[in-house]
Amino acid sequence: MVDTVIIGGAPLGRQQLAAVAAGARLELNAAAWSRIDNARAIVERIVANGERAYGITTGLGALCNVVLSPDQLARLSSNTLQSHACGVGEPLSIPLARALLTAQLQNYAHGHSGISPAVVQRLVDFLNLGITPVVPAGGSVGYLTHMAHAALPLIGLGEAWVEGERVPGGVALSRRGLEPLVLGAKDGLSLVNGTPCMTAFLAMALARAEHLAKWADVISAMSFEALKGQLAAFDAEALAVKPHPGALQVGANLRRLLADSANLSRHQGIRTQDALSIRSIPQIHGASRDQFTHIGRQVDIELASATDNPQVFGTPDDYRVVSQANPHGQSLGMAGDLLAIASAELAGVAERRIDRLVNPLVSGLPPFLLEDSGVNSGLMIVQYVAAALVAENKVLAHPMVVDNFVTSALQEDHLSLATPAVLKAHKVLDNVETVLAIEYLVAAQALHFFDAAALGQGSRAALAVIREHIPPYSEDRVVAPDITRTLGLLRDPLLLQRIETELGTSL
């Protein structure tokens, strides 16, 4: 794992964001601090000159034409955090909250926000000292509520996690020897403004989706083996005449995973072609991978962008203040909806393979994968569970970005709904992960009826992994704990790396 991530040179990468979310330290380099100092000097010049500039010397939203006196600006910043902190529901996970702070700092490092350097340093301190704001997951049409809650502990309000304990914000500060900050002009607006939360959440969701896409290839190869699939469907020359990159990658993965399978060699020609859930794995999994590639480009662009409003440019002696709409998250809202759809399809086709594995009418295997069926129900009901989760994903995958509301007295009359769209994608991924865990469990049980030494290289490796933790079924037992254990296997990156190492390639 990366020990320290440094912001200020090349734009923050998704892998670096994930490293900080997982606990790595973060630092800003001298160039970043120089840009932050310059932008802050511009804000202070605007205040000194008494100019009207949105959110610097005026109220917010529909109050953008209300000009405030200098002695009101610090109060405006503090009030902004408190009035905007109206989130609801269960809190974000600690990694998601840390990812939010990391993306915020990347945004400030561009030098167009004008936030006080002391505030930036305190956010760095939060990450490095293990203070994680408690941020309710619900209640945002864009970004304001999440970011307000994330900022409250800076001024001693709200709540934070410290060493696994949820405590008031002021207590969190005192445990690390810190005092509450006094915010200045524009600090409050900079803290609640921009796309860092939706960008961070999307980056983390995409990392999950890309990881699960690799497992989907591994697990589907096991199902293909158990169903005695016809390898012509993965022929390199045939796939090359429809050269979608994702399909070509998945086809190559399946050929590696199934290489040297004596089991499949014996069964070639037993049917003309397989059902689509078996035959079209490259086309289905590959289409999802292609969407993930597109989403990755959106995340990378956003991480390299300055996204709050207003933004300052130039120097304190020659500057511009620009009110614009860079905080609008339309690209990320569309990407979040697309991620939900593309991920849901991985589970949808997995459920179809699960059904074929447990169904003796098409599998050629014992009913529900137990020899002594009748008195034993075997793995009959886990297919029901998969179907229920796929049905839930159908609802969750409905796009959110196409909806719209009006907020702030007609001032904000088009909303991206990007943050809830991305958090909805996380719920879809929870279901996808569980369906793939069920397929892994079922496919492993199906392969129990084959000679393991005769399986393809990847199928053997994946079967060995699950058998180290979960024994095969010889009679009925409680299945839920096995699903939970299998989920743990899918979440362990070292196990996937182990399979890739045995294959000699990344999937």
Does residue 303 carry a pLDDT above 90?
A: yes
- Please state the rounded mean pLDDT for residues 167-182: 97
- Which whole number is the average pLDDT over 196-208? 96
Q: What percent of the chain has pLDDT over 70?
A: 97
More confident residue, 369 or 237: 237
User: Poorest-confidence range of 42-51, 198-207, 370-379?
Assistant: 370-379
Rounded CA gap, 391 and 435, in Å?
Answer: 11
Task: Quote the pLDDT of residue 27.
Answer: 97
Structure tokens at 229: 């699939």
CA distance 440 to 437: 5
Contact 72, 57 (CB under 8 A): no
Give the model's confidence band at 59: pLDDT under 50 very low, under 70 low, under 90 confident, else very high. Answer: confident
Q: CA nearest 281: which of 226, 206, 216?
A: 216
pLDDT tens figures, 431-460: 999 999 999 999 999 999 999 999 999 999
Per the document, the length of the chain is 507
Would you say the CATH fold of 212-503 matches that of 4-193? no
List, in sequence order, the alpha helices (H) in 30-69: 30-49
Residues 6+ apart with CB under 8 A from 165: none
Mean pLDDT of 388-415: 82
> Taking Cα atoms as reference points, which of 255, 400, 387 lies closest to residue 341?
400
In this predicted structure, what is the pLDDT of residue 302? 95
- Residues of the chain above pLDDT 90, percent: 84
Say what the pTM is. Answer: 0.94
* Ordered DSSP codes for 6-20: EESSSPPPHHHHHHH
Domain range summary for the chain, segments of one domain joined by +: 4-193, 212-503
Q: Give me the numbers of helices (H) and strands (E) for the chain, helices first please.
A: 21, 9
Q: If DSSP codes are grouped into helix, strand and coil, which group holds residue 287?
A: helix
pLDDT at 154: 98
pLDDT of residue 116: 97
Q: Which fold has domain 4-193?
A: Fumarase C; Chain B, domain 1 (1.10.275)
Per residue in 230-255, pLDDT (tens digit) is: 999 999 999 999 999 999 999 999 99
Cα dihedral sign, 324-329-332-338: negative
Q: Tell me which of 407-421, 424-438, 451-465 is least confident.
A: 407-421
For residue 176, the model assigns a pLDDT of: 97
What are the tens digits of pLDDT across the range 143-162? 889 999 999 999 999 999 99
Class of domain 212-503: mainly alpha
Residue type, 76: L
Contacts of 32 (CB under 8 A, 6+ apart): 7, 8, 109, 111
Say if residues 476 and 378 touch (Cβ distance below 8 Å).
yes
The 10s digit of each residue's pLDDT in 320-334 is 999 888 888 889 999
Q: In what helix (H) or strand (E) does residue 490 lie, and over which residues does it extend?
A: helix 480-491
- Tell me which residue has tokens 């109220």: 59
Is the previous residue joined to 168 through a cis bond, with omega within 30 degrees of 0?
A: no
Is 384 annotated as catalytic? Answer: no
Average pLDDT over residues 406-424: 77
More confident residue, 132 or 72: 132
* Closest by CA position to 294, among listed 245, 261, 226: 245
Pick the catalytic residue from 54, 108, 143, 440. Answer: 54
